[in-house]
A and B are shown apart, each in its own frame.
Chain A
Amino acid sequence: MSSRAVTSDTNSMAQHAQATPLDDMASIVATYEQRIFRFHLISIRDRDVAQSLTQDTFVRAWSARESFRGDCSISTWLMRIALNLVRDHTRTDRFRFWKRVSETAVDVSDISAHIPHRDSSLESRLIASEQMALVWESVAQLSERQRSVFLLRFLEELELSEIATITGLPISTVKTHLYRALATIRARHNATHKDSL
């Protein structure tokens, strides 16, 4: 084998070692952007902030792509970055201020228009809107950690092990957060039913 061949093999091995699955960021953005945007939108409930945080998610992913070791899926890794951004954003005082005054804040009426109506009876539509609004308002009352875990499970439909990886919590703790989140929703559910009766 010639020395040139050895050199080219060494170079290709070095390039292969440095290459990460995140190098093709364009295809990753195309694949996961909508999902990341959805998580930000429902977590923050502001369209502009959700757009901004979605871009920040991919910028951070690109900046830290060499630290991606492949011990979890790309979607899990991106969702972890997204969750950290949501956490950083919601902990600032600026967030609390803009939440009150923002014109791009998402209202429950914006959401309820998107409930698919499998049957067209007016009563079933009203009940569905009421049930959706009940969960929507209950989620707003949850703690930051409970809300994140709840959305990862019931919005993103992630497995508990994935949620544990994203949040860095044990599975048992994830289950506890889900129990408490469902307890809040259930309490509100029962109160609404008692009021209606």
Chain B
Amino acid sequence: MTLHLTHEQLCDLILADSSLPLEGEFQNEIHDSFTTDSDVVHAHLQACPVCSAELRSLRDSLSHFRDASVGYARQEFAHSYARRSSIAPPHSFLSQPLYWTAAALVFVAALFPLSMNRQHPVSNTTTPTASVAPQTAESDEALLTDIDQKVSADVPSPMEPLADPTAGANSATSTSVQRID
């Protein structure tokens, strides 16, 4: 026989603490072990101040740990909930038409400068393009017409007779020369 409770016996006593719920199978197991060892364990706890003091101290420690953790977590949860509530608009506020109207106005106001910026470059670029394009087409047409005329001519232009500025005088001279020949 050992002098004190074994670790498993002590743990079973802690796990079987009445403040904690136990599931059926384990409770039966604990109950069975108690029915066999119950008298021995309880007799030992009553007779041994070391084991009873240690059991009480461990139970108190675990109880303080749980109480403090639950209290702290509750406080932190409330703080985080308050922070989130202060950031997000209240739910009832979202359902008001005034809120959505204001949101739409802000959206349109934000889009207005963008649309203005988009229209200005378009108007600046389309005007020169529209004026230049017909001129270019017109000059191309004239150039092609000129080329067609030159190509379709019977006599190439370098071989055409020179134009005589003194057509009347020359005719008289030429006749006289012909006569001399």
Contact = CB atoms under 8 A, between A and B. Distances in A.
Contacts of B15: 153, 175, 178
B7 A42 contact: no
Interface residues of A, number: 44
- Which of B8, B54, B60, B80 counts the most A-chain CB atoms under 10 A from its CB? B80
B72 A114 contact: yes
A136 B65 contact: yes
A116 B71 contact: yes
A71 B71 CA distance: 32
B14 A128 contact: no
A144 to B, nearest CB: 18
B67 A182 contact: no
Nearest to B79: A47
Interface in B17-74: 20-23, 25-26, 54, 57-58, 60-62, 64-74
* Chain A at the B interface: SS class: helix
A159 interface: yes
Contacts of B74: 34, 38
Nearest to A163: B23
B11 A114 contact: no
Chain B at the A interface: SS class = helix
A135 B61 contact: yes
A47 B76 contact: yes
B25 A161 contact: yes
Interface string B71-91: 111111100100000000000
A184 to B, nearest CB: 11
B61 A171 contact: no
Given A38-B73, A185-B61, A189-B57, A115 B67 contact: yes
Contacts of B75: 114
A13 interface: no
A185 B60 contact: no
A105 interface: no
Contacts of A128: 60, 64
Given A128-B60, A160-B23, A37 B77 contact: yes
Contact of A189 (B8, B58, B77): B58
A185 B69 contact: no
A33 to B, nearest CB: 8
Given A179-B7, A182-B14, A189-B58, A34 B20 contact: no
A190 B61 CA distance: 12
Contact of A179 (B11, B66, B71, B80): B11
Contacts of A155: 65-66, 69-70
Interface of A: 33-34, 37-38, 41-42, 47, 50-51, 106, 110-116, 128-129, 131-132, 134-136, 139, 153-155, 157, 159-162, 171, 175, 178-179, 182-183, 185-186, 189-190, 193
Nearest first, the 10 A-B pairs at minimum CB distance are A114-B71, A38-B73, A159-B23, A131-B61, A135-B65, A132-B64, A161-B23, A114-B68, A114-B72, A115-B68
Given A136-B65, A159-B22, A185-B62, 5 more contacts: A134-B61, A179-B8, A182-B10, A182-B14, A183-B7
19 contacts: A38-B77, A42-B69, A42-B73, A110-B72, A111-B68, A112-B68, A114-B72, A132-B65, A155-B69, A157-B66, A161-B23, A161-B25, A161-B26, A178-B11, A178-B15, A182-B7, A182-B10, A182-B14, A189-B54
Interface of B: 7-8, 10-11, 14-15, 20-23, 25-26, 54, 57-58, 60-62, 64-77, 80
